[in-house]
Structure 1
Amino acid sequence: MPTTARLVAAVLMAALGWGVATLATAYLPEGQPVGLFAPVMALWGVIVGWIWTGRKIQEGSGKPLGVGLVGAALLVFWVLLSFAGFEMVRRATRVRYGGPVEALEDMMKIAMEYVRDQMQPDVIGALVIGGALAGVLTAWVARRFR
């Protein structure tokens, strides 16, 4: 059911995704195309904000700070899964794997490489502060506009 809290959470998480993507592009390997990194991260922000953050806060199940932080973690998880999966499929079309298990193992290695490259203080700080702020602001909107 659409609510103001879900809308605000979706917008805030999309903004968080776009902002973190902008910060994170500085740490991508040189020559790697940025392409749709920020829009995809913002899209996942909308999805996580609408489905997770907004719903949990609207229902009152969880503290706003915690819900926002979990929302930021879910945002990172889905973005990692998306981009590692895309890279795995790209490599699979070049017949680099002997089977599906090998492809899935490589997908996890790719995701861990992305995490290793992006574990920078400014990126982590933006995720933590932005997720916490998104949760608190969404809770305020949920109380204000019932």
Structure 2
Amino acid sequence: MPTAAKAVAALCLAALGYLASELVKTLLPEITNFGRFSEFNAIVGGFVGWIIVGTRAGRGTRDAIANGLTGVAALIFWSVFLHACLEMFQQAMKRRFDGPVEAFSAIFEIGIQYGGILMNPMMIATFLIGALLTGYFSEYAARQWK
């Protein structure tokens, strides 16, 4: 059932996904072709905000902070996982793997490489501030528009 808290959480995490994607672009070489990288992560953020953060809103301020942190952790996990799967698929189409087990294990290797890029003080601060704002705004929306 649609609620204001779900909509606000989806918008907040979609915005955070887009902003974080734009910041990640500054950390990678300029020659990298990103395609619809930012839009993809914004969509992932919208789904995570709607499903995870929005459904848990309305439980209090302390839980709102934890809810925002959980949502951002889920956003990071799903974005990295999906991009690693896409990269593995692209490499598999170029026949870089000897079998399906090697391709499956490559998802995790690629994910670890992508996660390493996010271990940057600027990215960590962005995610923490985004988590606090997402938790607060979704909690406010849950209280204000029941």
Matched, 1:70 2:70: yes
Note if contact 1:27-1:118 (Cα within 8 Å) is conserved in structure 2.
no
Corresponding residue for 1:145? 145
Map of 2:43 onto structure 1: 43
Counterpart of 2:91, as a letter, is R
Q: Could you tell me the percent identity over the aligned residues?
A: 36
Give the 4+ runs in structure 1 shifted more than 6 A: none
SS in 2 for 1:31: coil
CA deviation vs aligned residue, 1:75-126 (integer Å, no higher than 9, x gap): 0111101110001000101111111110011111111111112311111110
Counterpart CA distance in 2 for 1:30 and 1:102 is: 30
Deviations 1:40-93 (Å, cap 9, x if unpaired)? Answer: 1100110000000000114x3970000101100100111101110001000101
- One-letter code of the match for 2:128? V
More moved, 108-117 vs 64-73: 108-117
- Contact kept, 8 Å, 1:13 with 1:48, in 2: the verdict is yes
Q: In the TM superposition, what are the counterparts of 1:1-146 in structure 2 within 5 Å?
A: 1-58=1-58, 60=59, 63-146=63-146
Q: Which deviates the most, 46-55 or 25-34?
A: 25-34
Structure 2: which 5+ residue stretches go unaligned? none
| Structure 1 residue runs without a partner (length 5+) | none
What is the root-mean-square deviation of aligned Cα atoms in Å? 1.4
Distance 1:86 1:144 in 2: 40
Q: Is the contact made by 1:28 and 1:118 (CA closer than 8 Å) also made in structure 2?
A: no
What TM-score, normalized by structure 2, do the two folds share?
A: 0.94
Aligned residue pairs total 145
2:81 alignment partner AA: L
Residue 30 of structure 1: how far off its partner (Å): 4.2
SS in 1 for 2:113: helix
Q: Structure 1 pair 29/116, CA: closer, same or farther in 2 (3 Å)?
A: farther
TM-score in terms of structure 1 length: 0.94
